[in-house]
Structure 1
Amino acid sequence: MSQYRRSYQKNGCYFFTVVTHHRMPLFSDPDNVDLLRHAFKKVKTRYPFTLESIVILPDHLHCIWVLPDGDSDYSVRWRLIKTEVSKRIAASVNTRGEKLIWQRRFWEHTIRDENDWRRHMDYIFYNPVKHGLCKRPGDWPYSSFTHAVKKGWYKQSWGAEQPESIAGVNYE
């Protein structure tokens, strides 16, 4: 088994990719999207973090978090979010007694600077367009894009064409 090393930074900013088991389209069902949203809210009350952006696609999600001062433990948050969702969705169980809802791990990237942050934000919001789920990021219902527009980070018309900042990038 490989020795995977995670990067933990107190008050860090992270990009995450979390994938369903065998890329099952669990989040094609709006009820399951609601379960995921509920899990985020529940975990954030006990283990706060700032959710800067998110997109939920049928078989995976991408998001950027900022952890609070003195805290670097995003792994416990993901474990609790995944557990909360898994408790409420019927699924097969493996030999370890785990529901087959999620891939075992998740992918994280520590955001290094503002350019890195912008590139990952662009990737998150353009992802539903990239997968052919909508024509523009503002058309996708399971994204924080409209919040980013309200904050002045993007124009509503952004993303009708693939942004140059993410040409050839794949964080799946």
Structure 2
Amino acid sequence: MRGFDYSQSGLYFVTFCVQDRLCLFTRIRRNKLELNEAGRMVQAEWEKLPMRFLDIRLHEFVVMPNHFHAIIEIEKGDENGDWSLPGGADLQECQVPKPYQENGFQKEKSPGTKKLGQIVGAFKSITTVKYIEGVKTRNWPQFDGRLWQRSYWEHVIRNETAYRHISGYIITNPEKWAQDRLNMPE
């Protein structure tokens, strides 16, 4: 949305596609996902994002053959550094550790919340580099030009009803692959 501050606390539904909609990450068999090695890498890198961006929380997500759906929550601390969930959604509260402890090092919350586009951009960049490494060393299928399409689709989740609807869509997306508009014949 033009003029919307995508760094503010809230829940966001994002979708991004592989360039040319090549099926590189999974197969769907009997309505079940079968992640290949590249798909497992994409999933693992998504799950690592909260270690890079301390002010996010991951909700439902799915790696599809040629696209990715996820709900991501951006949380902001108040002036005292206390964390709070965004208003409006009656979702179960989560506890965000502060300061964050990793391998004996303390990491404070990130200085200034990153915008959604920066988070998605970092994820796309990391997975592209790792995918290229897989092409070179593990014989993963090649891609032409770029791994991911340039932009992505986002939707601000404004209430619990919308959250439940989108969450259900993500969870059941593999079952509906045959009818999915992103399902391109291989």
TM-score normalised by structure 2 residue count: 0.61
Instruction: Point out which structure has higher relative CO (alpha carbons under 8 A, 6+ apart).
Output: 2
**Contact 1:12/1:72 (<8 A) preserved:** no
CA contact (8 A) 1:17 1:171 kept: no
Is 1:103 matched with 2:145? no
Paired position in structure 2 for 1:57: 64
Q: 2:122 aligned with 1:80, yes or no?
A: yes
Deviation, structure 1 residue 56: 1.1
Shift of the alpha carbon at 1:25? 0.8
Contact 1:11 1:72 survives alignment (8 Å): no
Kindly tell me: are residues 6 and 25 of structure 1, through their superposed partners in 2, closer, same or farther at Cα, counting changes over 3 Å?
Answer: farther
Return 5+ residue gaps in structure 1 as ranges: 95-99, 134-169
- Cα 1:92–1:171, aligned 2, differ >3 Å: closer, same or farther? closer
Matched residue, 1:143: none
Partner SS for 1:89: helix
* Contact 2:22–2:66 (8 Å) recurs in 1: yes
* CA-atom RMSD in angstroms: 2.7
Q: Please state which structure has a larger fraction of its residues in strand.
A: 2
Separation in structure 1 between the aligned mates of residue 10 and residue 62 of structure 2, nearest angstrom: 20
Q: For the residues of structure 2 that align with 1:126 and 1:12, how far apart are their CA atoms?
A: 23
Note the alpha carbon deviations across 1:96-127, whole angstroms, 9 max, x for none.
xxxx2101011000001111111111111111
Report which of the two structures shows the higher radius of gyration computed on alpha carbons: 2
Q: Percent identity?
A: 27
Q: 1:131 to 1:11 in 2, by over 3 A?
A: same
**Post-superposition offset of 1:46:** 2.0
Counterpart position of 1:115? 161
Aligned to 1:19: 17
TM-score (normalizing by structure 1): 0.65
Are positions 1:46 and 2:35 aligned together? Answer: no
Q: How many residues are paired up?
A: 129
Counterpart pick for 2:2 among 2, 5, 15: 5
Q: Deviations over 1:64-88 (max 9, x none)?
A: 1111215361111111111111112
Question: What stretches of structure 2 of length at least 5 have no aligned partner?
Answer: 27-34, 78-112, 133-141
| Matching residue of 1:31 | 37
Stretches of 4+ aligned residues off by more than 6 angstroms: none
Separation in 1, partners of 2:154, 2:3: 8
Report the Cα offset of residue 6 of structure 1.
Answer: 6.6
2:11 and 2:157 in contact (8 A); partners too:
yes
Which of the residues 124, 142, 166 maps onto 2:170? 124
Question: Which structure has greater helix proportion?
Answer: 1
